[in-house]
A and B are shown apart, each in its own frame.
Chain A
Amino acid sequence: MDKGLTRVLRIDLTKKRSWVEERPDLFEKALGGAGVAIELLHELCPKGADPLSPENPIILAVGPLNPLFPLASKAVAMFKSPHTGNLGESHCGGRAALALRLAGFGALVIQGRSEVPVYLTVHRGRVQFRDARALWGLSSSLTVGRVLREIEPGSGARTILRIGRAGERLVTYATVIAETYRHFGRLGLGAVFGSKNLKALVISGTGTIPIPDPPRYQKLYRDLWERATRSDLMRKYHDLGTAQNIRPLNHIGALPVRNLLATAYDQEPAFSGERLAEGFLGRRLACSACPVACIHLAILREPHPHEPYFYKTTFVSYDHEPLYALGSMLGMKRAEDVLKLIDAVEVWGMDAITTGVVLAWATEAFSRGLISERETGGLRPAWGQPEPYLEMIRRIANREGEFYTALGQGVRVASARYGGEEFALHFGGNEMPGYHTGPGALLTYLSGARHSHLDSAGYAVDQECLQRGASLSPEELAQRLFAEEARRQVLSSLVVCFFARGIYDSETIRAALATLGVERSTQDLQTLGVQILRRKHAFKQREGFELATLPIPKRALQTPTPRGTVEEAFLRRALGEMQRLLEGEHGMA
């Protein structure tokens, strides 16, 4: 294994000290990425730690394939989540993985807390603590990126990770923004940065990675490059991006609309992938090492409110999830309005999915009289109206007053305080993603380690069952999703983008690792996936998480999916099976 990969860069913000630890043990056991990060989290995060205290570690990790193979483009972050109170895990593309690996590290850990705002730089493998007092409090995360781009070296092979105002103010779902338009989006890494007085982290790296078997490596690389560029991946994700999902989900009635009061628009939404590509698409981008380029930037041209013939041009990155959360979930009609909301969330630095679900809950709570203008500070949230939402986003990011402070902790906290729990769409404390396809999707949200649709992609099982007219028993469904989630642990330890899961079957992974001198059988890989998943579950349990008693929002059970309404008893049985699988035959790992 490459010696660079097994080095862990440790940074203590309290003592302003950094050092390197050699951890071949960890990388030999778990390859890298999520596998190594969860071990470091068990080691370094004390049980019961306050996620916003100096004790909580920020762990970034890459794996043996970054950036040596096509689509090995992701970096993994782990921390204790201030949003759910247990496992915080988030993946990010852009240049983060390439920069960290080529800086000569497999992982980076930040602990402690600086007494003044700082940002960290890693150039030529060396850490510097830089004064960030002037950057703290800037109203736009985009400005922070622009400033650092100018004053820091390493252009072309560096990552600029930073937080916005929401991170500074400890909104529990604040994001870390990378390279503009990419994120460690979910579960509140931005708030953990903020709690440490850490505004940004810049890493540059242009090192070499030795390849033990160059001829086999070159051949396999070409092979995978061809498979990636010829597969329907390219067509699917390059042409329209993930936004291509809006049209079919709307068509089958699986697109959450207006806080899941409905599941479709009468007509194709104005913000479907097709309509955005025709009317707004301005540029595509790729993460480093990825031929697909799924990142789509829209051009939003807005007239100046006072000056005639004067326009403001903004680039807004769109994906299925933000379009759902800040579009259909809020009953938006105009594409321009959705793009404006996505831009606002980017500027303040908040998770788009959670923000949209929070605003949807607030809109329904307002319409039912659970909250009034007294709580909202005179604003009247209403489906399809962007103006109140833009102002609410600003107030959440700035934690203005009691109500917006509650909204800044997600719908679980807000509904516990103001009521409306039956339509507070969260699973394990994390807000619902944009698929209401059936029991598979709901089971993924409930049982996935991160409560994210990407954990085990139950929506794909739903769609498959729908097409084939098949159905699975609760136990079968749990087994399918468990196997899928375990398989994905290997991908996120390499770290390969989940979009490439069709290309990276276990035989391909075995062969790719072998060219790098890492010998693992396909059986080893399978076992590793299960182990990592169980280690994550063990961390959650350690922090008080209980799968069996997890609340299920009533709204998700009442609103029919294309596969009918989902019975709570079905999900409970599936959760029982999932618990059995997660705990293994011999109890917890």
Chain B
Amino acid sequence: MPKRLAVVDPGRCVDCLLCALACSRRFGEGGLARSAIAVRSVGGVEHGFVVIVCRACPDPPCAASCPVGAITKAPVGVRVQPDRCIGCRTCVLACPFGAVHWDEESNKPVICVHCGLCASFCPHGVIALEEVGSG
């Protein structure tokens, strides 16, 4: 069964950003420019956090919205073809979770590919890979 990255226990998130920093390391770089996962407080850190990452929609609106077909459905989630992308940001608006992140340096979308690297660096069990269809 294919796996998707899931936010399993957001209540334990401590805002360390280790997940987002891990995602950038996929490309052998540091920082956050091409990170596909972000963490935001719910109106102030005392009220907790939301982890913003692709949910792997079965019928992905981001893909449907792209005027040039640069986003296609994959076995889990979607794939972006940067060479086709014209940088119009339509997909950003289409995702109801705000999970289409934007790489300002290349002017292209960044969407999670559900590789699970971030989950292996979350110290507090907030995110995990889980089998698609299990919830």
**A residues near B, CB below 8 A?**
67-68, 70, 98, 101-102, 124, 145-146, 149, 155-157, 179-181, 205-211, 214-215, 217-218, 221, 225, 229, 234, 282-293, 295, 297, 315
19 extra interface residue pairs, beta carbon distance < 8 Å, beyond A209-B29, A297-B46: A68-B30, A70-B18, A156-B38, A157-B38, A179-B45, A181-B45, A207-B105, A208-B29, A208-B33, A209-B30, A211-B28, A214-B25, A218-B28, A225-B121, A229-B123, A283-B46, A288-B15, A288-B16, A289-B17
> Looking at the complex, which one of A180, A206, A282 makes contact with B44 (CB distance below 8 Å)?
A180
A289 contacts B24, CB within 8 Å?
A: no
Q: Which residue of A lies closest to B122 (CB)?
A: A291
B18 contacts A289, CB within 8 Å?
A: yes
* Measured CA separation A101–B32 after assembly (Å): 11
A-B contacts, 20 listed (Cβ < 8 Å) = A68-B30, A98-B17, A149-B43, A157-B17, A181-B45, A205-B32, A206-B35, A208-B29, A208-B30, A210-B29, A211-B28, A211-B29, A215-B28, A217-B28, A225-B18, A283-B46, A283-B48, A288-B17, A293-B14, A293-B124
B21 on the A face (CB < 8 A): yes
* Measured CA separation A221–B32 after assembly (Å): 16
B113 on the A face (CB < 8 A): no
> Looking at the complex, which one of B25, B40, B44 makes contact with A218 (CB distance below 8 Å)?
B25
B14 contacts A284, CB within 8 Å?
A: yes
B31 contacts A206, CB within 8 Å?
A: yes
* Measured CA separation A290–B105 after assembly (Å): 26
Would A156 and B40 be within 8 Å (CB), given that A179-B45, A289-B16, A289-B18 are in contact? yes
A286 contacts B46, CB within 8 Å?
A: no
Would A67 and B123 be within 8 Å (CB), given that A210-B29, A211-B29 are in contact? no
Chain B residues with CB under 8 Å of A207's CB are 31-33, 105
Would A209 and B45 be within 8 Å (CB), given that A289-B18, A289-B21 are in contact? no
Q: Which residue of A lies closest to B52 (CB)?
A: A156
A286 contacts B30, CB within 8 Å?
A: no
Interface centre among B34, B35, B38, B46 (most CB of A within 10 A): B46
Q: Which residue of A lies closest to B40 (CB)?
A: A156
Q: Quote the shortest CB–CB distance from B83 to chain A (angstroms).
A: 20
B46 contacts A180, CB within 8 Å?
A: yes
* Measured CA separation A315–B25 after assembly (Å): 34
Would A286 and B28 be within 8 Å (CB), given that A155-B40, A208-B105, A293-B124 are in contact? no
Chain A residues with CB under 8 Å of B35's CB are 206
B32 contacts A206, CB within 8 Å?
A: yes
Would A209 and B31 be within 8 Å (CB), given that A285-B15, A285-B45 are in contact? yes
